[in-house]
Amino acid sequence: MTTTTTVIQQPMAPSALAQRRNIWRGLWRFTARRPVGAVAGLLCILLILIAIFAHQLAPSAPDALFPAAKLKPPSAAHPFGTDNLFRDMFSRIIVGSQISLGVGFASVFVGTLLGTFFGLISGYARDWADMAINRMIDTVMAFPPLILAIFFLSIFHATFLTVSLAIGIIIAPVTARIVRSAVLGVINLQYIEAAQALGSSHTRIMFRHVLPNVSAPIIVIASIQIGNAILAEAALSFLSLGIATDAHPSWGKMLQDTRSVWQQGWWTAVIPGVAISVAVLAFNMFGDALRDALDPRLRGS
């Protein structure tokens, strides 16, 4: 073991060290067993980095005009061509990743937070709280998903928060159901009983004992939902219900902007569509591989 020297040089709690080693070993095993998932994971990281450094990476501002270039096919100067409004598509795609991925992540975050909270309570408390939360979930699920988001955005003015909430509410009930059934699976195990016997409060048991043991399905369902959230954001932007503007485009809005000229310029239709599909595919495949690795019960489903 090469780590022994490190231990001598900088003392570390043995558990923390073991944990760190576990993470690296886990990552290595994941890569070795699921190479496709690992490649997809790398692609996801790349996409996230592009979104974070979008303004540094984009060769021009997304709304900069190139008067000589109206609807020009891809070339050295404009790798993805220009659109009908004299703008560089490459810069717009890069900056567009911010809203597409940003809203995607934010809505999954909101949905997972809500879903985990209600799922935990409903699985742990049972009785009337479980009943009430289940009826709440039924009620939200009574709305067709995209229509719920559209309805929500027709009531609240579209901002980053409201769009993320609109998509997050679609995600939350699914997460809540999965968390609930996972909680029901661990609630009768001995360590929970032991914690109860020691006199731990319900809140402590829920968050310190139950939550860590249902974290795998939560991570899995969240990663699987990211792709769907990106698709939902694209659809809302395409319907002009999103938050994209000329200076801050999103991939769905780019498709809407150029819809009238798709026939004259194939790249205006194909490139944003491919950008959406590649991003969604990367997150879907990563989520799939993660599910196989973390949750053997769901393997291959």
Partner 1 sequence: MTKYIVKRLLLAVLVLWVVSIIVFSAVRIIPGDVCKIVTAAPDVDAKQCASIKHGLGLDKPVVTQYLRYMGGVLHGDFGTALISKRRVWPEIRTRIPLTLELAVLATAFATVLALPIGIISAIRRDRPADYGLRLLTIGWLSIPGFWLGTMLIIYPAKWWGYSSPPGYTDIWIDPAKNLQQLYLPAIALGLALSASLARITRSSMLEVLRQDYVRTARAKGLVGRVVVTRHALKNAMIPVITLFAVQFGFLLGGTVVLESIFSLPGLGSLTLASVLIKDYPVVQGLVLFFATVLVLINLLVDISYAWFDPRIRYA
Of 126 and 211, nearer to partner 1 (C-beta) is 126
- Is the CB of 189 or the CB of 278 nearer to partner 1? 278
Find the shortest distance in angstroms from Cβ 284 to partner 1. 5
Q: Does 273 bind partner 1 (CB under 8 A)?
A: yes
In the complex, least distance from residue 217 CB atom to partner 1, rounded to whole angstroms: 16
| Interface with partner 1, residue 280, by CB under 8 A | yes
Q: Which of 169, 43, 175 is nearest to 97 (CA)?
A: 43
Q: Does 175 bind partner 1 (CB under 8 A)?
A: no
C-alpha Rg value of the chain to the nearest Å: 23
Told to check if 155 binds partner 1 by CB under 8 A, we report yes
The CB density around residue 296, as the number of other CB atoms within 10 Å, is: 10
Q: Which stretch binds partner 1 (CB under 8 A): 183-191, 192-200, 207-215, 234-242?
A: 234-242
| 269 is a site residue for partner 1 (CB under 8 A) | yes
Q: Cβ of residue 53: shortest distance to partner 1, in angstroms?
A: 24
What are the DSSP calls for the chain, one per residue?
-THHHHHHHS---HHHHHHHHHHHHHHHHHHHH-HHHHHHHHHHHHHHHHHHTHHHH-SS-TT-B-TT-SSPPP-SSSTT-B-TTSBBHHHHHHHHHHHHHHHHHHHHHHHHHHHHHHHHHHHHH-HHHHHHHHHHHHHHHTS-HHHHHHHHHHHS---HHHHHHHHHHHHHHHHHHHHHHHHHHHTTSHHHHHHHHTT--HHHIIIIIIHHHTHHHHHHHHHHHHHHHHHHHHHHHHTT-SS--SSS--HHHHHHHTGGGTTT-HHHHHHHHHHHHHHHHHHHHHHHHHHHHH-GGGTT-
How far the first Cα of the chain sits from its last, in Å, is 39
157 makes contact with partner 1 (CB under 8 A): yes
Nearer to partner 1, 93 or 205 (CB): 93
* Token digits of residue 60: 């021009």
CA 160 and chain centroid, separation: 15
Q: Which of 94, 221, 255, 294 touches partner 1 (CB under 8 A)?
A: 255
Is 119 an interacting residue with respect to partner 1 (CB under 8 A)?
Answer: no
In the complex with partner 1, which residue's Cβ is closer, 121 or 153?
A: 153
* 284 near partner 1, rule: CB under 8 A: yes
Instruction: For partner 1, give the closer residue by CB, 182 or 280.
Output: 280
| 64, 193 Cβ separation under 8 angstroms | no
Annotate each residue in 41-80 with x if it binds partner 1 (CB under 8 A) or - if it does not, as one string: ----------------------------------------
Applying CB under 8 A, which part among 61-69, 118-126, 151-159, 192-200 lies near partner 1? 151-159
The answer to whether 297 contacts partner 1 (rule: CB under 8 A) is no
In the bound state with partner 1, the residue whose beta carbon lies nearer, of 105 and 206, is 105
From 16, 142, 197, 198, residue interacting with partner 1 (rule: CB under 8 A): 142
> What residues from 200 to 229 belong to the interface with partner 1 (CB under 8 A)?
227
- Largest Cα–Cα distance of the chain, in whole Å? 77
Residues lying near partner 1 in the complex (CB under 8 A) are found at 135, 138-139, 141-147, 150-151, 153-155, 157, 227, 231, 234-235, 238-241, 252, 255, 259, 262-263, 269, 273, 276-278, 280-281, 284-285, 288, 300-301
